Amino acid sequence: MGTQTKIVVIKAKEIIYTGIFLVLGILLIILLMNMFGKGTNKKAETTSKYIPGVYSSTITLGDNTLNVSVSVDEDTISGVDIENMNEAVTTMYPLLEPALNEINEQISSVESVDDITYSKDNQYTYIILNQAIKNALDQATVTEK
């Protein structure tokens, strides 16, 4: 009726092997969790505001249709240009070129197109150009999925 004691002999070599396999198993589990966990299924967040390129929008002034081209980098607007400008347009709308030059001077230093300042004397010219720039930037804006 007595209890017999059992003696278990464990060799040091077996303890070392077991420890190594245990550490490798834990590292494998951590690696799999990082690879296939919730956080890694998200796409890398883009920090850029625009897709680099040249985008255009049209303005109709009288019988003339002008293309407003907006050049953008990833984060900034590089410049604004008007295509199809001829002498008739510059004669009929003399404030168009000076307004465009002032916009190009301010565009690199402002955060948004809405921050561009203009005088009250030619506010309608600025409003037309500002809206055309916004329409072109809508095409260049990076959309989040």
> Domain tally for the chain?
2
The reply to whether 7 falls in a domain is: no
For the stretch 66-78, pLDDT in tens is: 999 999 888 888 8
The reply to whether 1 falls in a domain is: no
Give CA separation, 116 vs 4, 23, 47, 93, 140, in Å.
Answer: 93, 61, 23, 20, 19
For the stretch 13-71, pLDDT in tens is: 889 999 999 999 999 999 999 888 876 445 555 567 788 899 999 998 888 889 999 99
Q: What is the pLDDT of residue 47?
A: 67
C-alpha 87/C-alpha 85 separation (Å) is 7
Q: What is the pLDDT of residue 20?
A: 96
C-alpha 61/C-alpha 82 separation (Å) is 12
pTM of the predicted structure, to 2 decimals: 0.63
Range of the domain at 22: 12-41
For the stretch 85-124, pLDDT in tens is: 888 888 888 888 888 888 888 887 887 888 888 878 788 8
Same domain for 70 and 36?
Answer: no
Same domain for 79 and 103?
Answer: yes
Same domain for 33 and 70?
Answer: no
Q: What is the pLDDT of residue 40?
A: 46
The reply to whether 77 falls in a domain is: yes
Using CA atoms in the order 104, 109, 114, 115, what is the torsion angle rounded to 10 degrees?
Answer: -120
Q: What is the pLDDT of residue 29?
A: 94
